[in-house]
Structure 1
Amino acid sequence: MLKKGSRGARSSRGSRMFSEDNSVHKFSRIKNTNLLDEDDEIYNTRNRQDQLLSNSNASSPYNDRSSSSPMDKSPWSSQTNVNVPFDDNDDNFSSNVLMGSLVREEGHIYSLATSGDLLYTGSDSRNIRVWKNRREFAGFKSNSGLVKAIVISDDRIFTGHQDGKIRVWKVSSRDPSVHKRVGTLPTMKDYIKNSMKISNYFEVKRHKNAAWFRHYDAISCLSLSEDKTFLYSSSWDKTFKVWRISNSRCIESVTAHDDSVNSIVTGFDGLVFTGSADGTVKVWRRELQGKGTKHFFSQTLLKQECAVTAVAVNPDTTVVYCGSSDGLVNFWERENHLSHGGVLRGHKLAVLCLITAGSLVFSGSADMGICVWRRMGMDHVCLSLLTGHNGPVKCLAAERDDEAAATERRWILYSGSLDKSVKMWRVSENSVPVAWKGCASGAPIAIPSSLPAAPSFEARNRVDGIQN
Structure 2
Amino acid sequence: MAMFTDTNHIPRPKYGNHMVHSDPNMSSNSNDDDYPMRYSSVSASSPSSYDPSRMSGEGSPMMMSPWNQTSPFAKSPWAQFDDNVPQNTLIGSLVREEGHIYSLAASGDLLYTGSDSKNIRVWKNLKEFSGFKSNSGLVKAIVISGQKIFTGHQDGKIRVWKISPKNPSVYKRSGTLPTLMDIFKCSVKPSNYVEVRRNRSALWIKHTDAVSCLCLSEDKTLLYSASWDRTLKVWRIDNSKCVESIHAHDDAVNSVVASVEGMVFTGAADGTVKVWKKEMQGKVTKHSLVQTLLEQESAVTALAINSSGSIVYCGSSDGMVNFWEREKQLSHGGVLKGHKLAILCLAAAGNLVFSGSADKTICVWRRDGVIHTCLSMLTGHSGPVKCLAVEKDRESESSNKDQRWVLYSGSLDKSVKVWSVSELASDVNPSARMQQQQVASDGDSSRSDGSVSSGSRASRNRRQ
Specify the TM-score bucket, using the shorter chain as the normaliser: 0.7 to 0.9
Residue 70 of structure 1 is matched in structure 2 by: 72
- CA shift at 1:402, angstroms? 1.0
Which SS does the other structure have where 2:383 is aligned?
A: coil
In the alignment, residue 60 of structure 1 is paired with which amino acid? P
Query: Residues 352-393 of structure 1, C-alpha deviation per residue, up to 9 Å, x if partnerless?
Result: 000111111000000000000011122111110000000000
1:21 paired residue among 33, 37, 44: 33
- 2:51 paired with 1:44: yes
1:406 paired residue among 377, 382, 399: 399
Give the alignment of 1:25-424 within 5 angstroms.
42-44=49-51, 50-52=57-59, 54-55=60-61, 57-62=63-68, 70-71=72-73, 74=74, 77-86=76-85, 94-316=86-308, 318-404=310-396, 406-407=399-400, 408-424=402-418
- 2:429 paired with 1:429: no
Check whether the contact 2:342–2:359 (CA below 8 A) recurs between aligned residues: yes
- CA shift at 1:283, angstroms? 0.2
In the alignment, residue 211 of structure 1 is paired with which amino acid? L
**Equivalent pairs: percent with the same residue?**
60
- CA shift at 1:314, angstroms? 1.2
Which SS does the other structure have where 1:101 is aligned?
A: strand
Check whether the contact 1:383–1:432 (CA below 8 A) recurs between aligned residues: yes
In the alignment, residue 127 of structure 1 is paired with which amino acid? N
CA distance in 1, matches of 2:29, 2:65: 22
Which SS does the other structure have where 1:269 is aligned?
A: helix
Check whether the contact 1:31–1:49 (CA below 8 A) recurs between aligned residues: no
Check whether the contact 1:412–1:426 (CA below 8 A) recurs between aligned residues: yes
Query: Residues 133-187 of structure 1, C-alpha deviation per residue, up to 9 Å, x if partnerless?
Result: 1000001000114100000000000000000000000000111110000000000
- CA shift at 1:32, angstroms? 10
In the alignment, residue 57 of structure 1 is paired with which amino acid? M
Q: TM-score, length-normalised on structure 2? A: 0.83
- Alpha carbons of structure 1 residues 125 and 251: separation in structure 2 relative to 1, 3 Å: same
CA distance in 2, matches of 1:395, 1:297: 27
- CA shift at 1:21, angstroms? 3.3
CA distance in 2, matches of 1:169, 1:122: 13
In the alignment, residue 341 of structure 2 is paired with which amino acid? L
Check whether the contact 2:48–2:197 (CA below 8 A) recurs between aligned residues: no
Q: Judge which range, 134-143 or 207-216, deviates more.
A: 207-216
In the alignment, residue 84 of structure 2 is paired with which amino acid? P
In the alignment, residue 70 of structure 1 is paired with which amino acid? P
CA distance in 2, matches of 1:338, 1:442: 18
In the alignment, residue 44 of structure 1 is paired with which amino acid? D
CA distance in 2, matches of 1:317, 1:191: 36
Check whether the contact 2:312–2:324 (CA below 8 A) recurs between aligned residues: yes
Query: Residues 207-229 of structure 1, C-alpha deviation per residue, up to 9 Å, x if partnerless?
Result: 42111001000001000001100
- CA shift at 1:334, angstroms? 1.8
- CA shift at 1:20, angstroms? 6.2
CA distance in 2, matches of 1:172, 1:349: 42
Aligned-residue Cα RMSD (Å) equals: 3.0
- CA shift at 1:439, angstroms? 3.5
Query: Residues 406-463 of structure 1, C-alpha deviation per residue, up to 9 Å, x if partnerless?
Result: 12100000000000000000000111122333646789xxxxxxxxxxxxxxxxxxxx
Check whether the contact 1:14–1:47 (CA below 8 A) recurs between aligned residues: no
CA distance in 2, matches of 1:300, 1:387: 34
Which SS does the other structure have where 1:57 is aligned?
A: coil
CA distance in 1, matches of 2:436, 2:42: 31
- Alpha carbons of structure 1 residues 190 and 423: separation in structure 2 relative to 1, 3 Å: same
CA distance in 2, matches of 1:399, 1:261: 26
- Alpha carbons of structure 1 residues 346 and 170: separation in structure 2 relative to 1, 3 Å: same
- CA shift at 1:44, angstroms? 2.8
Check whether the contact 1:32–1:47 (CA below 8 A) recurs between aligned residues: no
Residue 450 of structure 1 is matched in structure 2 by: none
Check whether the contact 1:283–1:301 (CA below 8 A) recurs between aligned residues: yes
**How many residues were matched structurally?**
417
Residue 466 of structure 1 is matched in structure 2 by: none
- CA shift at 1:268, angstroms? 1.4
CA distance in 2, matches of 1:306, 1:15: 7
Residue 464 of structure 1 is matched in structure 2 by: none
Which SS does the other structure have where 1:82 is aligned?
A: coil
- Alpha carbons of structure 1 residues 31 and 348: separation in structure 2 relative to 1, 3 Å: farther
- Alpha carbons of structure 1 residues 5 and 315: separation in structure 2 relative to 1, 3 Å: closer
In the alignment, residue 82 of structure 1 is paired with which amino acid? F
- Alpha carbons of structure 1 residues 279 and 45: separation in structure 2 relative to 1, 3 Å: farther
Check whether the contact 1:121–1:128 (CA below 8 A) recurs between aligned residues: yes
Residue 451 of structure 1 is matched in structure 2 by: none
In the alignment, residue 81 of structure 2 is paired with which amino acid? V
Which SS does the other structure have where 2:82 is aligned?
A: coil
Residue 453 of structure 1 is matched in structure 2 by: none
In the alignment, residue 81 of structure 1 is paired with which amino acid? Q
- CA shift at 1:48, angstroms? 7.0
CA distance in 2, matches of 1:369, 1:46: 32
- Alpha carbons of structure 1 residues 259 and 46: separation in structure 2 relative to 1, 3 Å: farther
